């Protein structure tokens, strides 16, 4: 590492400035990537990570600054230039055609041609090249397998493979593991490590998961408020120091202490079944209690949440809210009964981004806020205002568009929305996925607040630490069934993982 | 979920039913058989190969007019059907309710495969039939054009109102009424490139220009909304407007009622062409001055006669130009019920 | 509390004004340019004409505004317009009293909308295809009822609905009032924005999305029907083959005003401006003696520019 002369960076970004109306997104940022290194880019949401990467990819034009690729000054005007220069970008969302097989995905848009004039693709050559490529990079996947049938990790690896079809100098991975399960992350890291060591390809790795920095990274650059806080050898920097650089202060305690729940029952579910998805699920949640539900992807966590809320239909089972038996045939009934479901992807499912805080707040409460079908705007204004203050939503006014808010503030609006609807049970599906450390802390604070209001919380999460720290009790699900219930403080992460996978021995963590 | 299945089924039925109904329940035409239901007449000898007199019973004439929702065409189709019945030949009406160029072409293409003795087309768009004509030619089926010319040497006969002459006659009539007064005339055509509308516009416009009017030409697209809009805007843009001509009576009648509302009836004369009841009423009420009635009955009758003559190897006159009849306040009573 | 309230009123007003500013500036510019170039345009009769001609389209466009805000595309309004025209015409020539005939026509319009809503919500067929189908079907029904029947010369108490400048304009004001109230004051109107903004969020918030969509389609049908009645009264005749392609003009009017084609954002105030822009442009070109081909080109260009501006605006906001 670092044997090459200091000037010979693969990519060097010098004094990059990018302004948006009212915001200095990048403030003279310097960023250098050495050949054959994995360079982790760390920072809170809004620190400037994606802006920096978008400048490099040609999606944004920098207002000031220069970019050098292998010592040559390059003017990256469009994504096309970046690709020509051997830069590859793999974004958080998968961008593969699910119905095509691996080989065809790898060569999508640059298929080898038998006749360019007639537009005939040379399929034999395509498969031969794809096979050779996978072999050369030691990627063990079946070329003919349809991408839609691969696991998320395998799909990520296919995206990397696609980046390798043409000469790549640098591959940028934007939060690749955010959607991945613990054990499959290691497969991805293995591929990265091999490409780095054997082929000298550099990586920029953007992540929220501080632990991964040590696992996969060689060096780390930390951005804060659009400035480079420093670039370090990963070995020099311990976890606490990293966090301190990121949030620019003393590490505050991430998880709150949970108060003791009341003895009254908020929600009881008996024998909930949905063919092929849920098998006889029974559980109870007390008022002021968080019940954490965890398990692998596809274990049925989301399905359980949706079924209780009435978003999906049930084959059998009974639901009681505050001891009263209720029927939730649709979300409308669910909400009338006081059960609200907060979907995982809050950007798409939780809020209407193009609408104001006030409008989003009103959605589930309109029945209550209307008289004879007419909306009582003054009451709505008043309530929205109250909740904004109560939950300290940071926004110029309640008419601010939700899309202008930070992740944490958006989640608060979601919470305000459901408190306004007098929800008795809130089902959080992956509440903090993709949210930075500050945002997380604020969401946990909001959860605490909800508990104080006597709300029962069902938290569906695949983050085991979160399940351990933020639940009074933890249920582990596997293939649509509850396989184990733990009390707070009882299990270790390994215990949960073992239950989730269903192996008793020999689990690698 | 089961509930919605039922709904889906019911809806599917409703949609199908309404589509079927809408495609065959136009009350004006007694047997508007869709192409697929057309009686097959494969036994008819290929006309051009059999110059001897054919047995009328073995003759099938397929007819596709502009649209049955249009009074003029409805009358033409009925007259043709009546003439066919009188001559003892089979008659298949393929006309759709509303004008639809591609549906018309498809219906004719389909009927060619069933080998009728002759085909009469009153075209929505005369420019779409190139390959249809080639197919008919290959099958030896003569094609006749009714009302609107189709520009192809294979067309055996064209029977139509002499649109240009009719419009010129109307133009002369308007000039006479103007009696030397000069002003602006709005003379509308139909859709761009529609021969009938163009000829009507040209006939009126040429005559009016010759007698000193300032002529403004516009396309009304055979659409009342648009004709009215153009007329009212032109009225304010040209204070000396004294003549409005729409190439179809519904448009002219709509314009006339707007002119009346604006209190301009005494200043602006409105004219149409077609000869439809709605215009007769307007003429009688004094809102509109005159229209030219096309002799749609004669066109329908003579086209069928020509078809039979061609099948019998007799010569026919083409184009067979049928003159229009001027209708104004003096003779409108004859045409009103 | 009062100071707080007034402060929020101010903030609330600003974006609304800002939103309608681009189309408003466009309207003023186009009107000014035409007014300068064409002296005949500078008279009350010409302006009244613009309002009269815009009115029919505007009434239809108010319903389309509701539909588009809720992301319920409706391509059948041109046929609904014709169908209601002949239904009302038939009722009138059969001596049905005027109020009942008008009511009958409006009910026919609502029914058309309900059929659209049922097909879209119950079968899951995309609105584009479903309403394209009903566009044909409704016109078929109109033909059944009214083909080759002379329906004209109606009683004067019917004609008054569409005659002169005030007949259409008063109907416009009614349509505007109804739709504005619906969108801004009622729960259902509030829901329309939510459903258009993000249907899944709306569903999860407990809004009965399907039922509401049927209502939005019904309003769209109702307004298309009202437009059909006003126009029938205006020209004093009913006919089956009118309104062809009018759905595109209605959509254009809504979109040129700045209501989003993808739903969630919009207002009927914008639609006034959009429809006026189209009408002023059309009238202006006649006053300027522009050949008719160029009129089509200009209107087409206007629509593209409007949609492009909407696209740019959404991009910068994102």
Q: What does the DSSP assignment read for B39-57?
A: PP-TTSPPGGG--SPPPGG
- Between residues A328 and C182, the one the model is more confident about: C182
In this structure, are A463 and A331 located in the same domain?
yes
What percent of chain C clears pLDDT 70, i.e. is strictly above it?
93
B17 within domain boundaries: no
Number of structural domains in chain A: 4
Residue C255 resides in a domain? no
**Could you give the count of Cα atoms lying within 13 Å of A70 in the half-sphere of its Cβ?**
10
Q: What angle do CA B21, B26, B28 make, to 5 degrees?
A: 160
Instruction: Flag the least confident range among B216-220, B288-292, C17-21.
Output: C17-21
In a shared domain, residues A162 and A191: no
- Are residues B187 and B222 located together in one domain of the fold? yes
Asked if C123 reaches chain B (Cβ–Cβ under 8 Å), the answer is yes
Q: Residue A250 has what DSSP assignment?
A: P
Q: Which domain holds residue B266?
A: 163-293+328-335
pLDDT of residue B160: 86
The Cα A338–Cα A345 span in angstroms is 21
Same domain, B131 and B94: yes
Residue B145 falls inside a structural domain: yes
Q: What percent of chain B has pLDDT over 90?
A: 55
User: Could you tell me the two tokens for A45?
Assistant: 């949401």
Hey, is the C-beta of A374 within 8 angstroms of any chain C C-beta? yes
pLDDT at residue C35 greater than cutoff 50: yes
Q: What is the largest CA-CA distance in chain A?
A: 76
* A313 touches C at CB < 8 Å: no
Beta strands in chain B (DSSP E): 60-64, 90-93, 118-121, 143-146, 157-161, 184-189, 214-219, 241-245, 269-274, 290-293, 320-322, 325-328
In a domain, B172, yes or no: yes
Clarify whether residues A226 and A324 are in a common domain.
no
As a whole number, the mean pLDDT across chain B is: 83
| ipTM score of complex | 0.80
Residue for token pair 């599906």: A429
Q: Indicate whether A231 pLDDT > 80.
A: yes
Q: Inter-chain contact A331–C191, Cβ cutoff 8 Å? A: no
- Which pLDDT band holds residue C166 (cuts at 50, 70, 90)? confident
- Chain B residues lying within 8 Å of C40, measured CB to CB: 236-239
Are both B283 and B308 inside the same structural domain? no
Are A178 and A75 in the same domain? yes
CA dihedral B152, B155, B160, B163 (to 10 degrees): 10
Q: Same domain, yes or no, for B94 and B136?
A: yes
Q: Do C4 and A385 touch (CB under 8 A)?
A: yes
**Binding partners of B (≥3 Cβ pairs within 8 A):** C
pLDDT in tens, A278-298: 999 999 999 999 999 998 777
pLDDT for the residue numbered A357: 92
Q: Are residues B152 and B210 in the same domain?
A: no
List C-alpha distances in Å: B78 to A24, A367, B74, B91, C208: 78, 60, 6, 11, 52
Residue A508 reports pLDDT greater than 60: no
Does residue B11 sit at the C interface (CB-CB below 8 Å)? yes
Rg (CA), chain C: 20
- Residues A190, A150, single domain; the answer is no
pLDDT range class, residue A182, cuts 50, 70, 90: low
Residue C101: is its pLDDT beyond 50? yes
Predicted confidence at residue C149, as pLDDT, reads 80
- pLDDT per position as a tens digit, A458-486: 999 888 888 888 899 999 998 889 988 99
Cα A258 from chain centroid (whole Å): 25
| Residues B107/B64, Cβ–Cβ less than 8 Å | yes
Among A251, A279, A307, residue at a domain's last position: A251
- The torsion of the CA quartet B101, B103, B109, B115, rounded to 10 degrees, works out to -110
**Sheet of A425-429, strand order:** A339-342, A425-429, A456-460, A290-294, A473-478, A481-487
Q: Which residues of C touch B79 (CB under 8 A)?
A: none
Q: Is B312 exposed, middle or buried (0-12, 13-18, 19+ CB in 10 A)?
A: middle
- Domain presence at residue B23: no
In a domain? residue B301: yes
**Residue to test with chain C: of A338, A352, A388, most C Cβ within 10 A:** A352
Is B120 contained in some domain? yes
Q: Say yes or no: B145 and B96 in one domain.
A: yes
**Is there a single domain that holds both residue A283 and residue A328?**
yes
pLDDT at A200 over 90: no
- What average pLDDT does this structure show over B130-137? 91
How far is C219 from C114, CA to CA, in rounded Å? 9
Q: How far apart, in whole angstroms, are the C-alpha atoms of residue C264 and residue C68? A: 8
- Which chain C residues are within 8 Å of B224, Cβ to Cβ? 235, 239, 242
Residues B289 and B300 in one domain: no
Closest CA to B184 of B259, B253, B235, B254: B235
Contact A407, A439 (CB under 8 A): yes
Domain ranges, residue C134: 44-245
Tokens of B139: 């099958």
Non-local CB neighbours of B14 within 8 Å, separated by 6+ positions: C115
pLDDT value of residue A506:
41
| Per-residue confidence (pLDDT) for residue B11, from 0 to 100 | 52
Q: Residue C33: inside a domain, yes or no?
A: no
Tokens at B151, concatenated: 């520009």
Measured between CB atoms, which of C205, C265, C317 is closest to A363? C205
Digit-coded pLDDT (tens) for A365-410: 888 888 888 999 999 999 999 988 888 888 888 988 888 887 678 8
A335 in C contact zone (CB under 8 Å): yes
As a three-state string, the secondary structure of chain C is: CHHHHHHHHHHHHHHHHHHHHHHHHHHHHHHHHHHHHCHHHCCHHHHHHHHHHHHHHHHHHHHHHHHHHCCCCCCCHHHHHHHHHHHHHHHHHCCCCHHHHHHHHHHHHHHHHHHHHHHHHHHCCCHHHHHHHHHHHHHHHHHHHHCCCCEECCCHHHHCCCCCCHHHHHHHHHHHHHHHHHHHHEHHHHHHHHHHHCHHHHHHCCCCHHHHHHHHHHHHHHHHHHHHHHHHHHHCEECCCCCCCHHHHHHHHHHHHCCCCCCCCCCHHHHHHHHHHHHHHHHHHHHCCCCHHHHHHHHHHHHHHHHHHHHHHHHHHC
The verdict on B169 and B156 lying in the same domain is no
**A446 in a structural domain:** no
Q: Other CB atoms closer than 10 Å to residue A97's CB: what's the count?
A: 12
Q: What is the mean pLDDT of residues C40-53?
A: 89
Pairing mode of beta strands B143-146, B157-161? parallel
Task: Tell which wins on pLDDT, B265 or A445.
Answer: B265
Which residues are CB-contacts of C314 (< 8 A; sequence separation ≥ 6)?
C260
Nearest CA in chain C to B192: C293
Handedness of CA A406, A407, A409, A413 (dihedral sign): positive
Task: Please report how many Cα atoms fall inside a 13 Å half-sphere around the Cα of residue A199, on the Cβ side.
Answer: 18
Looking at the structure, do residues A331 and A467 belong to the same domain, yes or no?
yes
Q: How many domains does chain B have?
A: 2
Report the C-alpha gap between C270 and C276 in whole angstroms. Answer: 10
Task: List, in order, residues 6 or more apart from A227 with CB less than 8 Å away.
Answer: A27, A28, A29, A48
Count CB pairs under 8 A between chains B and C.
150
Residue contact C201–A336, C-beta within 8 A: no
- Indicate the pLDDT class of residue A22, thresholds 50, 70 and 90: low
| Same-domain check for residues B140 and B188 | no
For residue A444, is it within any domain?
no
Any domain includes C298: no
Residue C47 burial (CB < 10 Å; 0-12/13-18/19+)?
middle
Chain C residue nearest residue A344, CA to CA? C201
Same domain, A79 and A28: yes
B5 lies in some domain: no
How many whole angstroms separate alpha carbon A147 and alpha carbon C40? 67
Q: Which two tokens stand for residue C276?
A: 């006026």
The answer to whether residue C267 is domain-embedded is no
**Best C236, C278, C281, C282 residue to mutate vs chain B (most B CBs within 10 Å):** C236
**CB within 8 Å: C206 and A362:** no
Q: What range defines the domain where residue A114 resides?
A: 90-166
CATH no. for residue A280?
3.40.50.300
Please give the pLDDT value at position B38: 36
Cβ distance B229 to C152 less than 8 Å, yes or no, reads: no
pLDDT attached to residue A3: 42
Same domain? For B253 and B155 the reply is no
Q: Chains meeting A at 3+ CB pairs closer than 8 A?
A: C
- The mean pLDDT value of chain C amounts to 88
- DSSP per residue over A36-58, as a string? T-EEEEEE-TTSSHHHHHHHHHT
Tell me if C198 and A353 make a contact (CB, 8 A cut-off): yes
Say if A437 falls within a structural domain: no
| A101 and A118 housed in the same domain | yes
Are C200 and A348 inside 8 Å of each other by CB? yes
CB contact under 8 A, A366 and C190: yes
Whether residue A59 sits in one domain with residue A26: yes
- Rounded to a whole number, what is the distance in Å from the CA of B293 to chain C's nearest CA? 16
Closest listed residue to residue A409, CA positions, set A442, A434, A381 = A442
In this structure, what CATH number is given to the domain that contains residue B181? 3.40.50.2300
Q: How many CB atoms lie within 10 A of CB B293?
A: 22
Residues of B in contact with C152 (CB under 8 A): 253, 277-278, 281-282
Supply the pLDDT for residue A145: 87
Tell me the range of A82-86, A241-245, B216-220 where mean pLDDT is highest.
Answer: B216-220
What is residue C213's predicted lDDT score, i.e. its pLDDT?
97
**What's the pLDDT band for C171 if we cut at 50, 70, 90?**
very high
A420-459 pLDDT tens trace = 888 899 898 888 776 666 667 777 877 887 888 788 999 9
3-state secondary structure of B324: coil
pLDDT of residue A188: 80
pLDDT (average), residues A68-88: 88
Query: Average pLDDT, stretch B252-261?
Result: 93
Answer whether residue A441 is part of any domain: no
**Read out DSSP for A421-468?**
TT-SEEEEESTTTT--HHHHHHHHHHHHHHHHTT-EEEEE-S-HHHHH
Q: How many structural domains comprise chain C?
A: 1
- The dihedral of CA B259, B263, B266, B267: what is its sign? negative
More confident residue, C9 or C62: C62
Confidence (pLDDT) at C82: 95
- Distance from the Cα of A156 to chain C's closest Cα (Å) equals 27
C193 interfacial to chain A (CB closer than 8 Å): yes
């Amino acid at each position: 590492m670092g044997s090459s002369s200091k000037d010979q960076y693969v990519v060097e970004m010098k004094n990059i400035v990018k302004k948006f109306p009212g915001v200095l997104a990048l403030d003279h940022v310097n960023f250098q990537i050495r050949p054959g290194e994995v360079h982790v880019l760390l920072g809170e949401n809004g620190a400037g990570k994606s802006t920096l990467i978008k400048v490099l990819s040609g999606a944004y034009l920098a207002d000031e600054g220069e970019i050098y690729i292998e010592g040559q000054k390059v003017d990256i005007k469009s994504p096309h230039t970046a690709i020509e220069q051997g830069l590859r970008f793999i974004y958080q969302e998968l961008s593969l055609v699910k119905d095509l097989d691996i080989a065809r995905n790898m060569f999508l848009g640059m298929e080898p041609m038998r006749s360019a004039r007639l537009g005939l693709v040379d399929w034999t050559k395509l498969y031969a090249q794809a096979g050779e490529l996978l072999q050369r990079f030691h990627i063990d996947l079946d070329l003919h397998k349809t991408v839609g049938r691969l696991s998320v990790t395998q799909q990520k690896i296919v995206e990397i493979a696609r980046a390798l079809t043409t000469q790549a100098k640098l591959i940028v991975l934007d939060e690749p593991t955010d959607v991945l399960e613990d054990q499959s992350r290691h497969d991805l890291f293995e591929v990265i490590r091999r490409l780095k060591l054997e082929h000298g390809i550099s990586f920029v790795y953007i992540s929220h998961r501080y632990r991964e920095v040590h696992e996969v990274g060689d060096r780390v650059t930390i951005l804060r408020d659009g400035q480079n806080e420093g670039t370090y050898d990963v070995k020099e920097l311990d976890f606490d120091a990293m966090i301190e650089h990121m949030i620019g202060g003393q590490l505050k305690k991430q998880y709150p202490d949970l108060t003791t729940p009341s003895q009254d029952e908020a929600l009881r579910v008996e024998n909930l079944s949905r063919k092929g998805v849920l098998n006889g699920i029974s559980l109870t949640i007390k008022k002021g209690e968080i019940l954490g539900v965890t398990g692998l992807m596809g274990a049925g966590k989301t399905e359980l949440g949706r079924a209780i809320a009435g978003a999906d239909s049930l084959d059998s089972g009974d639901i009681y809210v505050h001891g009263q038996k209720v029927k939730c045939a649709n979300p409308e009934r669910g909400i009338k009964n006081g059960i609200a479901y907060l979907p995982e992807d809050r950007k798409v499912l939780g809020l209407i981004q193009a609408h104001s805080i006030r409008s989003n707040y009103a959605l589930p409460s309109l029945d209550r806020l209307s008289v004879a079908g007419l909306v009582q705007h003054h009451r709505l204004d008043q309530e929205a205002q109250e909740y904004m203050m109560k939950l300290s939503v940071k926004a110029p006014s309640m008419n601010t568009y939700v899309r202008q808010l930070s992740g944490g503030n958006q989640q608060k609006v979601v919470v305000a929305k459901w408190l306004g609807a007098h929800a008795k049970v809130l089902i959080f599906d992956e509440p903090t996925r993709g949210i930075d450390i500050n945002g997380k802390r604020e969401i946990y604070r909001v959860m605490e607040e909800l508990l104080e209001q006597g709300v029962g919380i069902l938290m569906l999460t695949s983050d085991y630490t979160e399940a351990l720290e933020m639940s009074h009790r933890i249920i582990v699900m596997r293939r649509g069934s509850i396989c184990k219930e733990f009390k707070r403080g009882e299990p270790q992460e390994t215990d949960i993982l073992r239950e989730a996978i269903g192996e008793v021995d020999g689990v690698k963590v | 979920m089961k509930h919605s299945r039922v709904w889906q089924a019911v809806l599917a039925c409703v949609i199908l039913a309404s589509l079927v109904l809408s495609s065959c329940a136009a009350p004006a035409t007694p047997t508007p058989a869709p192409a697929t239901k057309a009686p097959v007449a494969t036994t008819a000898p290929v006309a051009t190969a059999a110059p001897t007199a054919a047995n009328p019973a073995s003759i099938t004439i397929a007819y596709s007019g502009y649209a049955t929702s249009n009074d003029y065409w409805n009358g033409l189709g009925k007259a043709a059907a009546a003439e066919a019945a009188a001559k003892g030949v089979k008659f298949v009406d393929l006309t759709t309710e509303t004008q639809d160029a591609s549906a018309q072409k498809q219906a004719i293409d389909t009927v060619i495969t069933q080998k009728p003795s002759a085909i009469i087309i009153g075209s929505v768009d005369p420019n779409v039939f190139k390959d249809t004509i080639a197919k008919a030619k290959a099958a030896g089926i003569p094609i006749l054009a009714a009302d609107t010319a189709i520009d192809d040497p294979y067309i055996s006969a064209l029977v139509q109102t002499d649109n240009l002459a009719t419009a010129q006659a109307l133009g002369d009539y308007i000039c006479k009424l103007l009696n030397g007064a000069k002003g602006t005339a709005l003379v509308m055509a139909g859709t761009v490139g529609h021969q009938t509308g163009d000829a009507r516009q040209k006939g009126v416009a040429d005559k009016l220009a010759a007698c000193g009017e300032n002529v403004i030409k516009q396309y009304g697209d055979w659409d009342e909304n648009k004709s009215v809009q153009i007329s009212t805007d032109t009225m304010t843009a040209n204070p000396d407007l004294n003549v409005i001509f729409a190439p179809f009576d519904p448009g002219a009648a709509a314009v006339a009622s707007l002119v009346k509302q604006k209190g301009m009836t005494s200043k602006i004369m409105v004219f149409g062409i077609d000869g439809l009841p709605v215009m007769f009423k307007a003429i009688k009420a004094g809102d509109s001055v005159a229209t030219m009635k096309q002799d749609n009955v004669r066109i329908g009758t003579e086209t069928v006669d020509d078809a039979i003559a061609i099948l019998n190897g007799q010569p026919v006159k083409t184009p067979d130009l049928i003159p229009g009849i001027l209708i104004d306040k003096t003779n409108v009573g004859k045409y009103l019920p | 509390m009062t100071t707080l309230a007034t402060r929020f009123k101010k903030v609330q007003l600003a974006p609304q004004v800002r939103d309608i500013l681009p189309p408003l500036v466009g309207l003023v510019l186009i009107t000014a340019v035409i007014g300068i170039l064409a002296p005949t345009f500078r008279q009350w009769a010409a302006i009244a004409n613009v309002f009269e001609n815009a009115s029919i389209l505007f009434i239809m466009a108010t319903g389309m505004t509701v539909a588009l805000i809720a992301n319920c595309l409706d391509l059948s309004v041109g046929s609904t317009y014709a169908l209601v025209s002949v239904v009302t015409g038939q009722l009138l020539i059969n001596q049905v009293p005027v109020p009942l005939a008008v009511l009958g026509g409006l009910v026919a319009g609502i029914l058309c909308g309900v059929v659209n809503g049922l097909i879209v919500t119950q079968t899951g067929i995309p609105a584009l295809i479903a309403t394209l189908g009903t566009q044909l079907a409704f016109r078929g029904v109109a033909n059944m009822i009214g083909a080759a029947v002379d329906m004209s010369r109606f009683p004067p108490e019917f004609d008054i609905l569409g005659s002169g400048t005030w007949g259409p304009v008063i109907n416009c004001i009614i349509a505007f009032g109804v739709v504005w109230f619906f969108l801004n004051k009622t729960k259902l109107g509030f829901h329309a924005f939510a459903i258009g903004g993000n249907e899944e969020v709306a569903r999860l918030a407990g809004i009965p999305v399907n039922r509401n969509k049927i209502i939005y389609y019904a309003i769209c049908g109702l307004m298309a029907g009202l437009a059909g009645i006003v126009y029938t009264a205006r020209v004093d005749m009913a006919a089956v083959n009118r309104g062809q392609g009018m759905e595109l003009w209605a959509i254009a009017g809504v979109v040129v005003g700045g209501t989003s084609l993808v739903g969630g954002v919009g207002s009927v105030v914008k639609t006034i401006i959009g429809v006026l822009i189209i009408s002023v442009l059309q009238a202006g070109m006649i006053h300027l003696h522009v050949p008719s081909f160029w009129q089509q080109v200009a209107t087409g260009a206007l629509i593209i520019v409007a949609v492009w501006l909407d696209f740019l605006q959404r991009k910068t906001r994102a």
